Amino acid sequence: MRRTKRGSDHRGTVLYVARMVPHYRHAALARLNARLGHRLVVCAGAPPKASSMQSLIGSTQKGYPLLPLRNLWVGGQKLHMQAFGPIFRHYPAPSVVIAEESVRSATLPFLLWRAKRAGAARLLWGHFSSNRRPFALDSPATRYRLMLARSVEGCICYSASIATMLQPHVDPARLFAAPNTLDTGQLLTLRAALERSGRRAIRQRLELHTDAPVFVYLGRLIRAKGTKMLLDTFAQLRKRHAGAELVVIGEGPDRELFESKARKSGGIRLLGAITDWEASAPYLYAADLLLNPGYLGLSINHAFALGLPVVSQASPDPRIRYHSPEIDYLTPGENGLLTPYGSVEAMAEAATKILNDRERFAGNALAFARARLGLDVMLDGILRAVAFAEADQPKPCTAK
């Protein structure tokens, strides 16, 4: 198959193929579709049944067409396969296929091969690394990821540090940083409306203590998110700060653990999963800080846009990232703190330190969200990758 350079007037369908579309991606995909001249089609399936990932799915936001695909999940979430045949029956000659980069998706290499046969330029969008394993060339998972990254026309990286990590192994011209984020514009607007009432009034409306610390947890209730450590840390904080409260926004298999602790000790309010930001924003705005001991991701963006500093723990091993790429946004001592791994006492001490200097930490968190976490910054990176791919698009393979 020979490659050929197409003119800039070549504008076909752009497909985004993902395992599923979490609620926080709807606004980004709608705006991406608009900026692509309404050429985007999203192709995705459903999360595994009876899984904590179900809590990530909200009502579909209008703004882009969706082609439903059938997913097969093996071992819970350990292995994923997707029936992508309908994609090329509906869209036999797409201009670009953007595929979710996932080492767990067994059908991803076959999707990329099929897209190549259709003449589509191919882009991978994701982490290109693991939170839990080192990025090492002697790792089969790393070698597999690099093989796929080298095979496509471009890689859309969740952060600039991910692009830097790939540079020695992938043509730098094919690496595009698209700092992963949310629709922080909506969150900032919600915060501005809440600020007109003030934190004390919002706490009174939510029936939260007005003169005691309020901590909030945002995420799935799974062990990898540090749920047990969260409860242990909160117990320490209750000893230090009388009347302290913990607001828990999320759902998952560890809910029973929280319910049991709430019955015994009190001070814990379980709100379940809330995908409507208008409903959750008052709780985050009213809180003093986000307390998420386990691995962090877009909860950092969510918290910062509502003026909420973040406390979590550092990686247990300098060779691994532990957190998702969004950890790059947290500057310890400025907009949050990272404590030594596994230390409940250090976590409680960090939370107390922020309480004693909350105005500065909160101001820095909000300023970072305003300056660095806008949705269009991420979309600019994606659009650069699409433009690059379309300018160097392969010809479709024809059967002899």
Per-residue pLDDT tens digits for 360-373? 999 999 999 999 99
For the entire predicted model, the pTM comes to 0.92
Residue 161: enclosing H or E segment and its boundaries?
Answer: helix 160-166
Q: How distant, in Å, are the alpha carbons of 88, 122, 157, 226 from that of 113?
A: 12, 9, 21, 39
The answer on pLDDT for 332 being more than 90 is: yes
- Check for a shared fold between 14-181+375-391 and 184-372: yes
**Which residue, among 306, 348, 303, 353, has the nearest Cα to 329 in the 3D structure?**
303
d(CA 94, CA 87): 9
Give the model's confidence band at 81: pLDDT under 50 very low, under 70 low, under 90 confident, else very high: very high
Residue 326 is given by DSSP the state G
Q: Mean pLDDT across the stretch 260-289?
A: 95
d(CA 340, CA 290): 17
Q: Mean pLDDT across the stretch 245-271?
A: 94
Q: Mean pLDDT across the stretch 35-51?
A: 91
- Dig out the tokens for 32 from the structure: 């991406």
The average confidence (pLDDT) of the chain is 92
Give the model's confidence band at 1: pLDDT under 50 very low, under 70 low, under 90 confident, else very high: very low
Between 260 and 5, the more confident residue is 260
The answer on pLDDT for 85 being more than 60 is: yes
Per-residue pLDDT reduced to its tens digit, 201-245? 999 999 999 999 999 999 999 998 999 999 999 999 999 999 999
d(CA 393, CA 375): 27
Domain boundaries, the chain: 14-181+375-391, 184-372
**Which residue, among 326, 323, 325, 300, has the nearest Cα to 313 in the 3D structure?**
323
Instruction: Please report the pLDDT score of residue 187 as a whole number.
Output: 97
- Topology, domain 184-372: Rossmann fold (3.40.50)
Residue 362: enclosing H or E segment and its boundaries?
Answer: helix 358-372
The answer on pLDDT for 3 being more than 50 is: no
Instruction: Please report the pLDDT score of residue 393 as a whole number.
Output: 65
What is the rounded end-to-end Cα distance, in angstroms, of the chain?
Answer: 12
Q: Mean pLDDT across the stretch 3-18?
A: 64
Per-residue pLDDT reduced to its tens digit, 156-198? 999 999 999 999 999 999 999 999 999 999 999 999 999 999 9
Per-residue pLDDT reduced to its tens digit, 302-322? 999 999 999 999 999 999 999
Between 117 and 392, the more confident residue is 117
CATH superfamily of 14-181+375-391: Glycogen Phosphorylase B; (3.40.50.2000)
Instruction: Please report the pLDDT score of residue 352 as a whole number.
Output: 97
- Dig out the tokens for 364 from the structure: 């820095």
The answer on pLDDT for 48 being more than 90 is: no
Residue 105 is given by DSSP the state B
Give the model's confidence band at 57: pLDDT under 50 very low, under 70 low, under 90 confident, else very high: confident
Are 59 and 51 spatial neighbours (Cβ–Cβ below 8 Å)? no
Percent of the chain's residues with pLDDT above 70: 94
d(CA 60, CA 20): 12
